[in-house]
Amino acid sequence: MPEMPDLEVIAEVLGRKVVGRRIASAKVLRPLVVRSLPDGAEPCALLAGRDVREVSRRGKFLLLDLGDGLWLAVNPMLAGSLRHGSHPLKRLTRDYLSLVLSDGTEIAYHDTEGLGKVYVTRSLDLVPGYTDLGPEPLAPELTAEAFLARLKGFRGEIKGVLTRGALVAGIGNAYADEILFDAGVYPFRRVSQLSREERLRIFRSIQDVLSGAVAELRELIGEETDALHRGTMRVHLHKGEPCPRCGQAISEIAARGRITDFCRACQPGSLFG
């Protein structure tokens, strides 16, 4: 699943390729994931003739500003991506939307799982989940004290809180594992059990892990827009391998519909305490 670092870099790359281009034509190839908000407007009619003013990211959304208040908001979910290349692109079975641009290139939304969504809207507030997003994790206004103040309003296990997006935007399963390993915090600890120092360590790790991942992914992604590069992962998906900090085997727990990888020595804790 693409997370904040992946989408941050992809937005930069896509922006270099498509900003200033006009959408010459639009075609919905498979209607399942393409929505216009509010309902009733025909997406292709809204898109055709629009200029791409800016490409940005908010949480796990890719946003194309099409001017005059119109947005194309992409929530790739598990496996969605935006393919870009010379028109016509080779058509793939799971392509859902095609945008032909004025420079002879094409953008296609591709999703092998069909779980993502593409929204055409004049109000991002209508996009499901958008208004629930917390501040961006690397935003200057998210200071340590601001983070601590926000965290007071959350209950439950710290990994679940990090991945919901309401505390801070854009963190998913993979980077939550990396952040909590970096902070030395057991992923199933309840927020109410965390000391001030542990909370501050989590904040610093959010900053360090995500900023480091963005810098690394800029090198790995290059000019691609549709490839997922995880970069350096120290514990996530490393079940059974030596912990890079202490050498003990990385543990993995499957719960809440996801896997969690961590080091029991560096992140001590119990599901029952």
Which residues are marked as active site? 2-3, 60, 258
Rounded Cα distance, 6 and 107, in Å: 18
CA–CA separation, 118 and 61 (whole Å): 10
Rounded distance between C-alpha atoms, residue 230 and residue 245, angstroms: 20
Crossing angle of the two packed helices 173-183 and 196-221, in degrees rounded to 10: 130
Residue 257 to residue 273: CA distance in whole angstroms: 21
Side by side, the strands of the sheet bearing 117-121 are: 34-37, 117-121, 71-75, 61-65, 54-58
Rounded distance between C-alpha atoms, residue 50 and residue 128, angstroms: 24
Tokens representing 176 are 């939550």
Cis amide bond preceding 31, omega within 30 = no
